[in-house]
């Protein structure tokens, strides 16, 4: 029970890495608030957590918009009294280079992944500063460190998250707040399955191709990324801030 008495907000918590993290944090003792744009999926995740003895609420929110981010913080504090952990996970991906990327895809990617991380942090930080404690985990990517092909908007957003994380860590280290980024490689998520569909590949074909590019010969699971998030959220990582924790099966190693 590494998160006993903690309260966590998880954006994009209604599927994939966010859902797995919400459920793991709950099992470890945290009360959780998840956000997402799909009310039905949010409700399903929260019901599953509450049925197993956890405490969870959800907010239908789009992290591009400050009023909806503020509403998420207010709802969490109203339900649970405080915010200890912010897991900035919401994001989108379009497989496009700079020539092919339409401006609306660029804006959507930057606004959800990068601006959304900024806005949620902006509204969470005051209460963390007041209590002189808190943890912010920003989900970047291995491609936020090394870059990748046909992912110009995604790489821009995720690379920005890595350096924004370092800036925030420096700004708030003296206030008892730790800020780190989590950099997964390819993971079995709905986002990756949608990318396979968009490329006209079956999931088995896509999976085999992605696995072949990893030194460990496979892609990750959402549960593996959730465990890394738990490490960053818990007292197991109390001397870490401004770091980028890479969990990618060796993809960025060489």
Catalytic residue among 154, 155, 187, 229: 154
- The answer on 57 and 18 residing in a single domain is yes
Q: Are residues 211 and 227 located together in one domain of the fold?
A: no
Residue 154 is among the residues annotated as catalytic for this protein: yes
**Bridge partners, 165 (sequence order):** none
Please list the rounded mean pLDDT of every run of 10 residues in the chain (254 residues).
98 97 98 97 98 98 98 98 98 96 98 98 98 98 95 98 98 98 93 84 88 92 98 98 97 90
Do 151 and 40 share a domain, yes or no? yes
Report how far residue 87's alpha carbon sits from residue 116's, in angstroms, rounded to the nearest whole number: 11
Q: Is 249 contained in some domain?
A: no
Is 133 within the bounds of a domain? yes
* Same domain as 15, residue 98: yes
pLDDT of residue 8: 98
pLDDT at 91: 96
Beta bridge partners of 34: 10, 58
- pLDDT for the residue 45: 98
Q: Do 42 and 67 fall within a single domain?
A: yes
Residue 203 has what pLDDT? 86
C-alpha count within 13 angstroms, C-beta hemisphere, residue 106: 9
Which tokens sit at 88? 């900035």
Domain extent at residue 201: 188-219
On whether residue 145 sits in a domain, the answer given is: yes
Do 207 and 154 reside in the same domain of the chain?
A: no
**How far is Cα 185 from Cα 173, in angstroms, rounded to an integer?**
28
| Angle, alpha carbons 119-116-9 (nearest 5°) | 80
Task: Report yes or no on 250 lying in a domain.
Answer: no
One domain, residues 207 and 101: no
Same domain (yes/no): 33, 63 = yes
Q: Is the same domain home to 147 and 215?
A: no
Q: Which residues contact residue 165 at a Cβ distance below 8 angstroms, ignoring those fewer than 6 apart?
A: 136, 138, 140, 179, 180, 181, 242, 244
Q: Is residue 251 part of a domain?
A: no
Structural domain contains residue 253: no
User: Is 2 inside any structural domain?
Assistant: no
pLDDT score for 87? 98
Tell me how many domains the chain contains.
2
The pLDDT score that the predictor gives to residue 192 is: 82
What pLDDT is recorded for position 199?
84
Task: Tell me what pLDDT residue 206 has.
Answer: 86
Cα(180)–Cα(113) distance, integer angstroms? 15
Residue 113 lies in a domain: yes
| Confidence (pTM) | 0.95
Domain with residue 71: its CATH number is: 3.40.50.720
pLDDT, position 210: 87
Same domain, 195 and 109: no
Residues 106, 195, single domain; the answer is: no
Q: Are residues 155 and 203 in the same domain?
A: no
């Amino acid at each position: 029970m590494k998160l006993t008495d903690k309260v966590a907000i998880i954006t994009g918590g209604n599927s994939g890495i966010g859902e797995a993290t919400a459920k793991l944090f709950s099992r470890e003792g945290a009360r959780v608030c998840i956000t997402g744009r799909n009310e039905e999926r949010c409700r399903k995740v929260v019901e599953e957590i509450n049925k197993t003895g956890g405490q969870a609420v959800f907010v239908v929110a789009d992290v591009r918009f400050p009023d909806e981010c503020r509403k998420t913080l207010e709802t969490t504090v109203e339900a649970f009294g405080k915010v200890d952990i912010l897991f900035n996970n919401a994001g989108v991906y379009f497989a496009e280079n700079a020539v092919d990327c339409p401006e609306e895809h660029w804006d959507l990617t930057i606004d959800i992944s990068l601006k959304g991380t900024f806005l949620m942090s902006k509204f969470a930080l005051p209460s963390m500063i007041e209590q002189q404690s808190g943890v912010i985990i920003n989900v970047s990517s291995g491609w936020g460190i090394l870059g990748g092909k046909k992912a110009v908007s995604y790489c821009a957003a995720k690379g920005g998250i890595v350096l924004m994380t370092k800036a925030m860590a420096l700004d708030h280290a003296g206030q008892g707040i730790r800020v780190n980024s989590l950099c997964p490689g390819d993971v079995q998520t709905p986002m990756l399955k949608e990318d396979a569909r968009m490329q006209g590949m079956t999931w088995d074909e896509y999976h085999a191709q992605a696995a072949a590019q990893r030194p460990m010969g496979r892609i990750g699971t959402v549960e593996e990324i959730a465990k890394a998030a738990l490490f960053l959220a818990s007292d197991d990582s109390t001397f870490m801030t401004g770091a980028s924790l890479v969990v990618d099966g060796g993809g960025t190693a060489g």
